[in-house]
Amino acid sequence: MANVLPACLLLALLVLTPALLAHPEPCPVLQDIGELCMQSVQCKSGCCHRDRGLSLARCAPRATESQECSPKNLHGVYYKCPCETGLSCDANRTIVGTITNRNFGVCRDPQDL
């Protein structure tokens, strides 16, 4: 049984290596505001937004000064968009808030803080 696992791993490596070394597909066209998305990197604005947990996500504009925001995260989909360039999201940055995507704040100009 101990020899079966390494043999399976070797076989998987031999099968997957050509696929891993293949050239990646060209980058898709970025989505405009209002178009469906699955991650923020697909949007020209950099924000893939959804209203509720089960709603469809759509590209949305970034938050402006004094609007609610979410700090940038790895989720790729936001309930509140990150701030426009030059603004910072004044939010409570906790691990639980980051995991649950509930650490909302307000966009502020860092020079005003």
Look at residue 20 and give its three-state secondary structure. Answer: helix
Kindly state whether residue 35 falls inside one of the protein's structural domains: yes
pLDDT of 31-87, one tens digit each?
999 999 999 999 999 999 998 878 999 999 999 999 999 888 766 899 999 999 999
Q: How confident is the model at residue 29, as a pLDDT?
A: 80
Q: Is residue 2 part of a domain?
A: no
- The dihedrals phi and psi of 58, each to the nearest 5 degrees, come to -135, 150
Residue pair 66/42 in contact by the 8 Å Cβ criterion: no
The whole-number pLDDT of residue 52 equals 84
- Judge whether 80 lies within some domain: yes
Q: What share of the chain is helix, strand, coil (3-state, %, to 5)?
A: 25, 20, 55
Map residue 49 onto helix, strand or coil.
Answer: strand
Residue 23: what pLDDT?
46
- 63 vs 14, more confident: 63
- pTM of the complete model: 0.66
In a domain, 82, yes or no: yes
Identify the band that residue 2 occupies on the pLDDT scale cut at 50, 70 and 90.
low
Q: CATH number, domain at 39?
A: 2.10.80.10
For residue 7, tell me if it sits in a domain. Answer: no
**More confident site: 98 or 22:** 98
Tell me, yes or no, whether 63 lies in a domain.
yes
Domain count, the chain: 1
Q: Is 59 within a domain? A: yes
The parent domain of residue 47 ranges over 29-112
Burial of 86 (0-12, 13-18, 19+ CB in 10 A): exposed
Phi/psi of residue 25, each to 5°? -70, 155
Whether residue 14 is contained in a domain is answered as no
